[in-house]
Structure 1
């Protein structure tokens, strides 16, 4: 019986110690104070930065990709077959329009031309004498016309021979840089044999596609700026042609611009990062991207009004790297909250730390 009383006494003391430790000890007092502090902080104002919005002018630009193309590019081939007797260009050389590049064997054609020219000279002399005689009525008009016809026939043959000879000479159709050749002296050249590629890259053409929504804003003369991977320079181009029909798959319009390339920094086939200026909006409101909270049906921002957060639904449009255009929902002079948005709820009290103008 005595042991039982001792056990009951010890249990009572243990319970009393636990109750005292929970509600009356120094640690309990500290917990109460911490809990009270947290509750006070939760109900206190949220510290935020605000920006006073105002009307501003904005340049509407879009970033797209494109391809650098040559102004002119052609794969050189021969119009006739024959042995190569001369190659008159170096690989990578700049050539001028009309410059002789390759010559095919044409000695037989040259000999035939000399023969025809001799016959033409004789026929011309006969025709000249017959013209004098027919004026003196020494020969009939028919004899004169026969000699004249013979002369014209030889003249046509000579022109035909010259045309055949010209086809044995491959000349540059335009000025540019000639690439790597695929032929060698003494080889046999046919109309299907590629000789080399001739490229004119000054000016360079920049080809890119623009979404359908921007079609009304694209016009001849629009300015384009772009960069390429192989250079740190920024290049400028001017739109000179627009495809008249949209691409049915991507719903984009193909646009082409020309860029001066006097230093040959632009290469055909290169990838271009393009910044296209569409138009200038003279009066609109722009806010930082982080200030706009997307919603299922619309977007909203918080405005500082009489010390509390006021939620406003807004309509957005143009976006830049850091800002969003507000076309409806805000007016000039509104104080838009730009920080602490995660902690804000409608009608929450706010404490302004910084005002951005």
Structure 2
């Protein structure tokens, strides 16, 4: 009987011990889950702050413009008899582009030339006779005036014929023809566009506070998304002496060499001016900086001894910083961090002081000092 009672007592103790152990386990897990809910582990991207050579620069958006560019027109109306140019071809100054009907003018020219010839003969004859006193001075003067008048009429008619042969006013590249043979065109009507492509202008604006860093002859570096990775080097040739009162910017013109005609008039470009000698700066991707009413801040990471899904867990803390200039997607940090500090680059909106995070750099913000420019107009 005592043996049975002992067994029953042991069973009761084991049962209640198991119940208490289970309760303790459940309470532990609930506490653990509660802690994880209060301070969840957040996935972010991060980068180590690095020191890079920083050349002081000014960035601007520019637009290309031809040095010489016109819509070739005609001074006189007429019927087109010939179009000897090829659309899109390169032409030289003086090349014939269009011929208008000049048959009536040529006939008139021959008539005037005959009159001029007769007037000259008459003058020469009367001049000899005047030396013998056979012709008055008044008659000789009339002959001279008639000779000069007919000569001027010939030159005027020849000028009319020349105007009906339209030539390239300068060397350049032609556009699309706007006329056809047999077509009647009026004075001032566009025939074809003619543009010089080498060299080429780039126009851009700089804020008035940056004008002390720009000067005529200063080197500029221009890029275009038409030729990614290629840089065009030029010089500032003109700075507008007037500030635009609407935007308080000053227009600047630079001239670039464009031997392969890669840049075309009207293209969107990115312009960079070097404004001084380089120096070392701590840099971060611009996306790493968070701005609030109190200033600029970053999230610094401190490594903990925890692991989550095989990744180290870090603790995020806010740190106010003083920022400098930007270049492309990079920003200089003057105060607040040091080289090698781990800084959050994306996911800051989910963070607060003390947040636990893991780093996943599968997708990170751009950290390019010269990102490609895209025209979004």
Give the structure-2-normalised TM-score. 0.66
Over 3 Å counting, the alpha-carbon distance change for 1:302 and 1:145 in structure 2 is: same
SS in 2 for 1:121: helix
Q: Does 1:339 align with 2:342?
A: yes
Q: Distance in 2 between matches of 1:234 and 1:291?
A: 28
8 A Cα contact 1:57 1:280, kept in partner: no
**1: CA distance, partners of 2:194 / 2:295:** 56
- The residue that corresponds to 1:3 in the other structure is none
Number of equivalent positions:
309
What SS does structure 1 have at the residue aligned with 2:230? coil
SS of alignment partner, residue 161 of structure 2: helix
**In the alignment, which of 111, 118, 126 is matched to residue 130 of structure 1?**
126
2: CA distance between counterparts of 1:28 and 1:193?
Answer: 91
Alignment counterpart, residue 318 of structure 1, candidates 298, 312, 325 = 325
Q: Aligned partners of 1:286, 1:132: CA distance in 2, in Å?
A: 98
Mapping for residues 157-172 of structure 1, pairs under 5 Å: 157-172=153-168
Write out aligned runs for 1:129-278 (5 A).
129-221=125-217, 222-229=219-226, 232-272=229-269, 274-278=270-274
**Superposed displacement of residue 151, structure 1:** 0.6
Aligned to 1:118: 114
CA distance in 1, matches of 2:111, 2:201: 49
**Does the 8 A contact of 2:223 with 2:229 survive in 1?**
no
| Partner SS, residue 228 of structure 1 | coil
Q: CA deviation at 1:85?
A: 1.5
Summarize the alignment of residues 62-73 of structure 1 with structure 2, pairs less than 5 Å apart: 62-73=58-69
SS in 2 for 1:280: coil
Instruction: Provide Cα deviations, 1:119-149, integer angstroms capped at 9, x if missing partner.
Output: 1112112223333444455533222211111
- Counterpart residue number, 2:37: none
Largest Rg, 1 or 2: 1
**CA deviation string 1:181-222 (max 9, x = no partner):** 222222212115332212221222222222222222122223
Q: What is the match of residue 91 of structure 2?
A: 95
Q: Distance in 1 between matches of 2:113 and 2:20?
A: 130
CA distance in 1, matches of 2:111, 2:184: 27
* C-alpha spacing 1:218/1:129, structure 2 compared with 1 (3 Å): same
Q: Deviations over 1:231-275 (max 9, x none)?
A: 553322322122222222222222222222222222222222x14
Aligned partner of residue 94 in structure 2, secondary structure = coil
Shift of 1:171: 0.9
148 and 322 in structure 1: CA distance in 2 versus 1, 3 angstrom threshold: closer
Q: Is the CA contact 1:50–1:335 (under 8 Å) kept in the aligned structure 2?
A: no
| Residues 137 and 59 (structure 1), Cα distance of their counterparts in 2 relative to 1, 3 Å cut | farther
Counterpart-to-counterpart distance in 1, 2:27 and 2:177: 93
For residues 276 and 50 of structure 1, do their structure 2 counterparts lie closer, same or farther at Cα, with a shift above 3 Å needed?
closer
Q: TM-score, normalised by structure 1?
A: 0.69
Deviation at residue 90 of structure 1 after TM alignment = 1.6
Distance in 1 (alpha carbons) for counterparts of 2:280 and 2:229? 34
How large is the RMSD of aligned CA atoms in angstroms?
4.2
Greater Cα shift, 207-216 or 107-116: 207-216
Q: Are the equivalent residues in 2 in contact too, given 1:58–1:280 (CA < 8 A)?
A: no
Structure 1 residues 196, 312: CA separation in 2 closer, same or farther (over 3 Å shift)? Answer: closer
Give distance in 1, aligned partners of 2:353 and 2:214: 42
Query: How many angstroms does 1:163 deviate by?
Result: 1.4
Does the CA-based 8 Å contact 2:49-2:341 persist in structure 1?
A: yes
The answer (yes or no) to whether the contact 2:282–2:338 under 8 Å persists in 1 is no
Q: Give the Cα separation in 2 of the matches to 1:184 and 1:302.
A: 68
